[in-house]
Structure 1
Amino acid sequence: MVSRTSIDRFFSFFPGTLYPIGGTTSARSLDGSSPRIALLRPFVYFGHTHNQIYVNHNGHLTFNAPWYSYIPQRFPMYGSRDIIAPFWTDIDIRRNGQINYTQYTNGTVLQQATRDINTYFPELNFTATLVFVATWYQVPYFPYSGTQTTFQAVLISDGRYSFVLMNYGIIATPTHRVEAGYDTINSTHHLSIPGTYLAQLLNRTAYLSNVNVPGRFAFRVDNGSRGCIFNGKWSDRQTDRQILFCLTSFLVATLGKKCHECCQTN
């Protein structure tokens, strides 16, 4: 079990990016999963209403059954499952690291989620009624127990609109391929954060964003995904791959502008 002091110290390095860490801790195993988790409110994912979820150890969430795959496949998979993968890679928590999950239907976390979504999607007048948080906290890659990587998937819903936040803390240099993004049954909707499959951007993930918050990506997932716009728009359609990640230092160096001057939410 990771101590509260350790978690508090971690938050001092990444204020405002990660949602609270806590709740149920997944059992230690290799390539394992949580038991079936009954969602306290339905979650609509690209037209499918889900009432349960599984937190899989290798960095992904599934809805209909646990999934133990530790070798990432590139999205789109054209497969038979809905999947949300903030950091799909080969993870081993048998000795250290932990995976937590919890959900909220009232309180300050719902208020935080409501503020975040209205900031990123201001046209919706959104009020969260469900927040589900899964955290992979200081988890090691297989078989290197000394590495520590922290990331989250946060599912937010009001019963009509649904969103996923992917939050990143400290990311150790990957020892395996990684896929980050989401996919659906038959890949009718899918998105892969560019560069992650070949680990081209992973050492900078904690500084990248599509919503001007370093280390955070926000996606609308009830019927589409929109975010930061730059010379085009954020899209999950395979034909539109103009995706900008707001890496402020990169934009300052190459464009002479700060991220908020280049991007707008739509």
Structure 2
Amino acid sequence: NGHLTFDAPWSSFTPQRFPIHGSRDIIAPFWTDLDNRQNGQISYNQYTSGSVLRQATQDINQYFPGLNFNADWVFVATWYQVAYFSASGAVTQAVLISGGQYSFVMTNYGEIAFTQQSVQAGYDTVQSTHHFSIPGSFSQNATGEFSNFRLSSNVHVPGRWAFRTDRGSRGPLYPTSGTVSSAVDDGSSPQITLLRPFFYFGRTYNSIYVSHYCPSCADLWRPTFISADELRYNSLNNTEHSGKTYCS
């Protein structure tokens, strides 16, 4: 939920800290438990001409000077006001940009409602040969009014992070229009054929999946909450609660 994968769909709604040292490439603008059945929509679009390519060309040449870059393809995935599981949500984007031998990933952040859920943002590759965790991941500063994702940047544009991946509009958001991923899709969009190959740290991909809520996964795990009184009672009686989440 809130991530992109290339070889196959992946509906994991529990974020893992980067580096994972796993077997998949992943781009995670906002990996947490999201539920687009509650609110918001998830959309994606590809561009091979027009104003979005001009914007991408301008942005990349500003952030990575000296490349004389010219974008010929842009893929934009938007999670627009998508709810956290049983709560309000956030506005996030992943933007993939290619031109010639160069490829880039941008993550954009709009309003991000507060949640106590963990969030991982950044990217990770097979066996974590390349990885980056955006500051604020797995912290209390990930969401809310003072979200570090929304207020910080590595390219001097608050709410935007940009990375070159081929080797080792107004505000930060690109246009949010495009094919809407159905809320009834089980954990992921259908396979999306990319209009241009995307180079991701030594590998080339021709398709992508946009993740979201997974109904068939939802019943596999649910936290069990125990009151503070019960916790104190069980502690006094040495009662173990393996696999349960405690809260007051």
Structure number with greater CO (CA < 8 Å, separation at least 6) is 2
Contact 1:141–1:175, Cα closer than 8 Å, also in 2? no
Instruction: Tell me the CA shift for residue 81 of structure 1.
Output: 0.3
Are residues 1:217 and 2:148 paired?
no
Q: Distance in 1 between matches of 2:142 and 2:11?
A: 25
Contact 2:120 2:133 (C-alpha < 8 Å) held by counterparts? yes
Task: Identify unmatched segments of 5+ residues in structure 2.
Answer: 169-248
Q: Which runs of 5+ in 1 are unaligned?
A: 1-57, 225-266
Deviations 1:55-85 (A, max 9, x none): xxx1000000000000000001010000000
Partner of 1:158: 99
Q: How does 1:117-266 map to 2 (within 5 A)?
A: 117-144=60-87, 147-202=88-143, 203-224=147-168
Instruction: Tell me how far 1:197 sits from its aligned partner.
Output: 1.7
* TM-score when normalising by structure 1: 0.60
Whichever of the two has the greater Rg, that structure is 2
Aligned equivalents of 2:85, 2:158: Cα separation in 1: 27
Kindly tell me the number of residue pairs found equivalent between the two proteins: 165
**Shift in Å at residue 214 of structure 1?**
1.0
- SS of alignment partner, residue 170 of structure 1: strand
**CA apart distance, 1:198:** 2.3
Deviation at 1:194, TM superposition (A): 2.2
Indicate conservation of the 8 Å contact 2:135/2:148, yes or no.
no
CA RMSD, aligned part only? Answer: 1.1
Deviation at 1:201, TM superposition (A): 4.2
8 Å Cα contact 2:119-2:142 kept in structure 1:
no
